[in-house]
Amino acid sequence: MFTNEEKEAIYKVIFTRRDVRSFLPDPVPEEAVKRIIKAAHHAPSVGFMQPWNFILIESEEIKDRLAWAAEKERRALAIHYEDDGRSTKFLDLKIEGLKEAPLTICVTCDPSRGGSHVLGRNSIPETDMMSTACAIQNMWLASCAEGLAMGWVSFYKKSDVRDILEIPPHIDPVALLSIGYTDVYPKNPILETAKWRKREELDRLLFHNKWSL
Amino acid sequence: MFTNEEKEAIYKVIFTRRDVRSFLPDPVPEEAVKRIIKAAHHAPSVGFMQPWNFILIESEEIKDRLAWAAEKERRALAIHYEDDGRSTKFLDLKIEGLKEAPLTICVTCDPSRGGSHVLGRNSIPETDMMSTACAIQNMWLASCAEGLAMGWVSFYKKSDVRDILEIPPHIDPVALLSIGYTDVYPKNPILETAKWRKREELDRLLFHNKWSL
C-alpha cells in the first residue's frame, strides 16, 4: 500500500517528466544508471519474455556516428515538411542532444526471446515492442526521479544503428535515449511550446462501453 | 527535483507493480479512474501525437462478450502448448479476471492521429504503438499507487474486440485492462511463480558501446 505522500510523488513524476534535448556535460553517476536500468528490467512483459537489451554508449566516436545517422534522417524527413509551415528546428536540437548528452542508451527488442510461442505475443505479435516501451517509460520516470533528463530520439534508419552498434539483423533497435543533467528542464512538452501540436482534451478521448464519435 | 522520500516512492511502485488477475467485486472510485486516465494522457508520444483512446467498460453484457472473445483465443492458443509440458492454467485465470474485475478499459491506438507525417513516426512507424504502451505503463503505476490492481489481457483477435466495441477498422485495440481491488497482490510475477519463465540476469542484458554476446 502507498501513503498519500508516496502517491503524490508518483503522480508528480508522471506529470512532470519531459522529453529533453539539451544537456550539460557532467557525467551521469554510475549508481543512478544502475537504478534506471533496473527500473527498466522491472517493466511488465508479455509472457514474461523480457525482450530488452541495453547498450550503454559513452564512446565519443560512436555517439558521433549515431548523430550522423540521425542527422542524415533529419535531412530526409525535413523534405516532407517543406510545405508545412511549422518550424522543424527542434529536429536539429534533438541531434545536438545526442552529441551533448554524456550517455546514450540504445534499447533493443529481441522478438525471438522466449522461443517461438510466447504467451500473449502469439495473439498480438507487437506486444514484444510494447513491453519494451513499458521498460523505456520506467527508465524515463526513474531518470526524472534521479534529477536526470532523458530524450528519446526516434528518427534514424534501424539498419544504420545496427551497423554502428553491431546489432544482429533480427534484433530491433527501438530507441536511442540521451541521458544527462540539464539546466533547462521544460515545464511543458517542447512540441506544445513550439506550437507544433496541442494537448488533446482528455474528455474527448474517453468513451463508455463502446467507441462513439 | 525530488526528495529522497519521493524517489523511494517512485522506485517502490516500479518494483512492486504486478500483473493481477484476481479481483474483488468492489467498485473502483470514479476519482481514481480519472487520475489513472490522466496519468495515461501524460505519457510521452512521438510527435506529441497522443494516439490513444480509452473505452471504459462496466456493462456486464459487454464484459461477458469480451471474455468470450478471450476464451475463444485461449482455446486456440492452448493447442500450441499441448506438447509443452508447462501448465497453461493461468490463461484461464486471466479470463476469470476479465469477468471479475468491475472495470475493463480498452486502450486503442489511432495511427492516423496527427496527420500523415507525424514527427518520428515517419521514420519508425511503430512508435505510435510504443507511445500507447507508455500510456499503459503510466496507468499501471497509477493503479498500483491507488491501491488498485491491474491486469493486461493480450490474447484476443482484434477483429472480435472491434466488433464488440464498435471500433473503426483503422483503430487498433491494443490492450484490454482489468482494474479493481484485490486481496492477493502478488509479490513476484505470476509467470515466475508458476515456473513458466525466470527473470533474466540483468548483467547479461547490458552491453557497452556495442552489442556483444
Q: Say whether residue B189 is in contact with chain A using an 8 A CB cutoff.
A: yes
**Helix A4-16 and helix B30-41, axial crossing angle in degrees, nearest 10:** 30
Q: For residue A29, is pLDDT > 90?
A: yes
pLDDT digits (tens, 9 = 90+) for B149-159: 999 999 999 99
Which residues lie closer than 8 Å to A155 by C-beta, 6 or more apart?
A: A70, A73, A74, A77, A91, A94, B119, B120, B122, B123, B124
Contact between chains at A207 and B56 (C-beta distance less than 8 A): yes
| pLDDT computed for residue B77 by the predictor | 86
Cα separation, A208 vs B180, in Å, equals 17
Would B122 be classed as within a structural domain? Answer: yes
Would A12 be classed as within a structural domain? Answer: no
Write out residues in chain B with pLDDT < 50, as ranges: none
Residue of B191, B210, B212 to mutate for A, most A C-beta atoms under 10 A: B210
Chain B nearest-CA distance from A58, in A, is 7
pLDDT digits (tens, 9 = 90+) for A30-84: 999 999 999 999 999 999 999 999 999 999 999 999 999 999 998 888 888 887 7
Would B102 be classed as within a structural domain? Answer: yes
- Other beta carbons within 10 angstroms of residue A129's beta carbon come to 19
Cα separation, A79 vs A88, in Å, equals 11
* Nearest by Cα to B178 from B63, B69, B71: B63
Indicate the residue of A35, A137, A191 with minimum beta-carbon distance to B48. A191
| pLDDT computed for residue B162 by the predictor | 98
- Residue pair A58/B209 in contact by the 8 Å Cβ criterion: yes
Residue of B11, B16, B117 to mutate for A, most A C-beta atoms under 10 A: B11
Would A38 be classed as within a structural domain? Answer: yes
Indicate the residue of B6, B15, B119 with minimum beta-carbon distance to A145. B6
Q: Say whether residue B132 is in contact with chain A using an 8 A CB cutoff.
A: yes
- Contacts of residue B43 in chain A, CB cutoff 8 Å? 137
Q: How far is CA B14 from the centre of its chain?
A: 15
Starting from the edge strand earliest in sequence, which strands make up the sheet with B149-153, in order?
A: A206-208, B52-57, B103-109, B172-180, B149-153
Starting from the edge strand earliest in sequence, which strands make up the sheet with A172-180, in order?
A: A149-153, A172-180, A103-109, A52-57, B206-208
Would B20 be classed as within a structural domain? Answer: no
CATH number at A122 reads 3.40.109.10
* Nearest by Cα to A143 from A15, A4, A18, A11: A18
Would B14 be classed as within a structural domain? Answer: no
| pLDDT computed for residue B120 by the predictor | 84
- Contacts of residue B147 in chain A, CB cutoff 8 Å? 1-2
Chain A nearest-CA distance from B209, in A, is 4
Contact between chains at B133 and A134 (C-beta distance less than 8 A): yes
Q: Does the interface predicted TM-score (ipTM) exceed 0.85?
A: yes
Chain A nearest-CA distance from B48, in A, is 7
- Local structure of A78: helix, strand or coil: helix
DSSP type of residue A19: B
Chain A nearest-CA distance from B42, in A, is 6
Q: Say whether residue B5 is in contact with chain A using an 8 A CB cutoff.
A: yes
pLDDT digits (tens, 9 = 90+) for A123-132: 899 999 999 9
Task: Tell me if the pTM is above 0.90.
Answer: yes
- Contacts of residue A138 in chain B, CB cutoff 8 Å? 14, 137
Would B97 be classed as within a structural domain? Answer: yes
Q: What are phi and psi of B33, to 5 degrees?
A: -60, -45
Strand pairing class (B52-57; A206-208): parallel
User: In chain A, which among 100-129 make CB contacts under 8 A with chain B?
Assistant: 108, 114, 117, 119-124, 126-127, 129
Total number of domains in chain B: 1
Contact between chains at B53 and A205 (C-beta distance less than 8 A): yes
Q: What is the extent of the structural domain holding B62?
A: 26-188
Cα separation, A10 vs B12, in Å, equals 9
Q: How confident is the model at residue A90 (pLDDT cuts 50, 70, 90)?
A: low
Q: What share of chain A is helix, strand, coil (3-state, %, to 5)?
A: 45, 15, 40
Q: Say whether residue A30 is in contact with chain B using an 8 A CB cutoff.
A: no
| Residue type at B116 in one-letter notation | S
Q: How far is CA B19 from CA A25, A109, B23, B189, in A?
A: 39, 21, 12, 7
User: In chain B, which among 7-26 make CB contacts under 8 A with chain A?
Assistant: 7, 9-15, 17, 19
pLDDT digits (tens, 9 = 90+) for B38-77: 999 999 999 999 999 999 999 999 999 999 999 999 888 8
Would B98 be classed as within a structural domain? Answer: yes
- Residue pair A194/A84 in contact by the 8 Å Cβ criterion: no
Contact between chains at A11 and B145 (C-beta distance less than 8 A): yes
> HSE of B140 in the Cβ direction (CA atoms, 13 Å)?
30
